[in-house]
Chains A and B, each alone.
Chain A
Amino acid sequence: MTHGEVELQLDAYVDGELAPGDARELETHLKACVECARLHEARVALSATIREQVPAFRAPDALRNRVRAALRNAAEAPIPRRLMPSVAARWLALAASLALVAVGSWRLGLSRAGADALAGQVLASHVRSLMPGHLTDVVSSDQHTVKPWFNGKLDFSPPVYDFAGRGFPLVGGRLDYLVGRPAAALVYGRRQHLINVFLWPAKQGPVGGPDVATRQGYHLLHWTTPDYAYWVVSDLGMTELHDFAQLVQQADSAASRPAAARGLP
């Protein structure tokens, strides 16, 4: 191996990008060649120095606001028919604006506009969760894996069920941020469809909003138990989504009775 070859491979080696065979060959050479070994050390040190001394920037708040405003304007501007002829394309643009633009107006309380915005935010979160890599933080069909995963991440322990026997297998869970507070998002499947269940303590966040809504081809169901405010979103048919909601409600009331009897929270 020439020094030139070593130097070229060294960076890939330090970055863990060298093929295993080449890496072994390089390691053998590094053991034998003092000069190259020194170069290797220097590169490792350089990487550490860069990471330590070259800052990754945090986007200024002014920029954050600017971009949000610009996106909101762009989303509201009429879309040229020539470019976006179909309803589907219009939906895409809307979904994009929902997914990218933070719906910042969250202090609307329980007014109708507020409830409407809440539904919008729930839907936006659902759409975003369907983007690659966003669906789950914890992937498991086991409720006893998903439920404890939320420990220390939320100030409540969301009820997690597995309805695999009824055709709604648990897919996983993730943390979400809705209505100005952290919320649990549980993901269930139904054939090729995904269902997002959002919930937060009923006493600590807004409740209300339409019980049933259809927006941009998605169905939303909302209900409140004494403990939790629930939102369920999916592209699943309304009938099946109602079936699913019923399963959750039944499981909830079944779970709350013995717990209350035992004096558990």
Chain B
Amino acid sequence: MVLPHLDAAYTLARYLTRNDHDAQDVVQDAYLRALKYFRGFRGAEGGDGRAWLLAIVRNTAYTWQRRHRADGLTTEFDEELHSDAVAEDHPGATLERDTARESLHRALDRLPPEFREVIVLRELEGMSYKEIGDVTGVPIGTVMSRLSRARRRLQEALCAGEEGQ
């Protein structure tokens, strides 16, 4: 018997908090909540509980950030405002040494968490739009547009990285 979906939970928490220490705290907190809400899980329809558990991890991470960090996930997310924001400037000197991998990571880190999480859930966890909607609590149409905008920003960042080399 193992702790179900612990790797997936840690991965999501890690990308939402962007550091190991907070991610571990969030995951522990989330599993305790999961234990408490276990009744809800048994009533949940279908699936192996991954979406249910990751939704708890996600909510825990957002609450955690609001409580413990002044920055990060506190900014109210505005679909339009954030989606078209230009990538932040970064010093040319760093750019030159930037490998494609680094610029991808950096671009991902800079995405608003609402964009970062859809990328993680889709690309790393291979979830369907429906499952992602279940985790993030938004309609499928919103999942679709967030993914599209998130990818566009990652692509722009990658292109900028290549041009800088």
Contact = CB atoms under 8 A, between A and B. Distances in A.
Note whether A and B form a binding pair.
yes
Contact of A58 (B7, B42, B144, B154): B7
A46 B158 contact: yes
Given A10-B148, A12-B144, A12-B148, 12 more contacts: A11-B148, A17-B129, A49-B104, A60-B10, A60-B24, A64-B3, A70-B28, A93-B38, A101-B1, A121-B1, A131-B49, A132-B48
B129 A63 contact: no
Nearest to B45: A132
A29 interface: no
A64 B6 contact: yes
A59 B13 CA distance: 10
Contacts, number: 139
Contacts of B20: 60
A63 B104 contact: no
A236 to B, nearest CB: 20
B46 A11 contact: no
Interface of B: 1-4, 6-11, 14, 20, 24, 27-28, 31-32, 34-36, 38-39, 41-42, 44-49, 100-101, 104-105, 108, 119-120, 122-125, 128-129, 144-145, 147-148, 151-152, 154-155, 158
Contacts of A100: 3-4, 31, 34-35, 38
Contact of B39 (A7, A64, A68, A92): A92
Interface residues of A, number: 51
Given A11-B151, A100-B35, A56 B7 contact: yes
Interface string A1-31: 0000001101110010100000000000000
Interface of A: 7-8, 10-12, 15, 17, 42-43, 46-47, 49-51, 53-54, 56-60, 62-64, 66-68, 70-71, 74-75, 89, 92-93, 95-97, 99-103, 121, 124-125, 128, 131-134, 177
Nearest to A73: B32
A15 B38 contact: no
Contact of A42 (B9, B10, B35, B155): B155
Query: DSSP class of A's interface residues: helix, strand, loop or mixed?
Result: helix
Given A63-B28, A100-B34, A54 B1 contact: no
Nearest to B1: A102
Contacts of B38: 92-93, 95-96, 99-100
A53 B161 CA distance: 15
B1 A128 contact: yes
Contact of A54 (B7, B105, B151, B152): B105
A12 B4 CA distance: 29
Nearest to A11: B148
B35 A96 contact: yes
B3 A17 contact: no
B32 A71 contact: yes
B155 A11 contact: no
B124 A54 contact: yes
Nearest to A83: B36
6 contacts: A51-B124, A70-B31, A96-B35, A99-B1, A124-B1, A128-B1
A257 B129 CA distance: 55
Contacts of A47: 123, 151
A89 to B, nearest CB: 8
B10 to A, nearest CB: 4
The 4 closest A-B pairs by CB, nearest first: A96-B38, A133-B48, A59-B10, A11-B148
A46 B155 contact: yes
A74 to B, nearest CB: 6
Nearest to A88: B39
A21 to B, nearest CB: 16
Contacts of B147: 11-12, 15
A4 B32 CA distance: 44
A53 B124 CA distance: 10
A102 B129 CA distance: 32
